[in-house]
Amino acid sequence: MLSKSKTTELRKLLQKKYREETGLFIVEGGKSVDELLRSSLTVKGIWATDTWLSAHPQLSVAAEAVTEVELARISALTTPQQVLAVACAPRYAVADFDTSAGAILLDGIRDPGNLGTIIRTADWFGFRQVVCSTDCVEFTNPKVIQATMGSFARVAVFYADLPTFLRGSTARVFGTFLQGRPIEEVTFRRDDLLVIGNEGRGITEPVARCVTDQVHIPSYGGTGDHAESLNASVAAAVAMYAIRRQML
């Protein structure tokens, strides 16, 4: 039985304040928890239904059986998914950034679903580094972790002041702009950096001044009415695909 004090302790991790204080974060759902268990991240505990525990008899970390009602009390999801784990949040220092590998840079991404989807997409296309501006949503947000579908365990997510970070880089910096060069005409290198802007305002002026090459994802909606712009995570996905298929 899940105690009242443990329920309170776990529920606190749904808040950014307590995640930052403890250095812990929540992972929910079978797929994500399986990826967590295969990673090098430290797992502090697992709370799961008997069904999930029966399917995972060889666990090497502490696990406690809970009912679906108890799981719902500690879950960030509307419909809990059999298992919840708590792990130590990874700490990625900018000093450890691999300048030879390139990265996706995110300027003010505030929507957790967008950030999680971008991390998942970066994983799919083999980008192992994502650099977020300091005003991006934190990647240990439960909604971000859920949207990554386990990719949080394979992609290093850095947080930095982007203008400072970019001024210290010798790589080419590509940014998505409506007036940029069509992205399919660009040949990319492995160490290139790509900036994706905020969902509403795009790339901020301080970051834009650091962009060396502006690129554009063309619309094929014709000359009449069509969508004003792409969703940030969709734009990132299209750009990552274009980079990978045209990379030297």
Domains in the chain: boundaries? 4-88, 94-245
Band of residue 124 on the pLDDT scale cut at 50, 70, 90: very high
What pLDDT was estimated at residue 219? 84
Residue 111's contacts (CB-CB under 8 Å, 6 or more residues apart) are: 137, 199, 232
pLDDT of 222 higher than 70: no
- Answer positive or negative: Cα dihedral of 26, 28, 34, 35: negative
- Answer positive or negative: Cα dihedral of 98, 187, 105, 150: negative
**Region 94-245: CATH code:** 3.40.1280.10
Residue-wise pLDDT tens digits, 150-178 = 999 999 999 999 999 999 999 999 999 98
Band of residue 230 on the pLDDT scale cut at 50, 70, 90: confident
Band of residue 225 on the pLDDT scale cut at 50, 70, 90: low
Residue 149's contacts (CB-CB under 8 Å, 6 or more residues apart) are: 31, 32, 35, 120
What architecture is the 4-88 domain classified under in CATH?
2-Layer Sandwich (3.30)
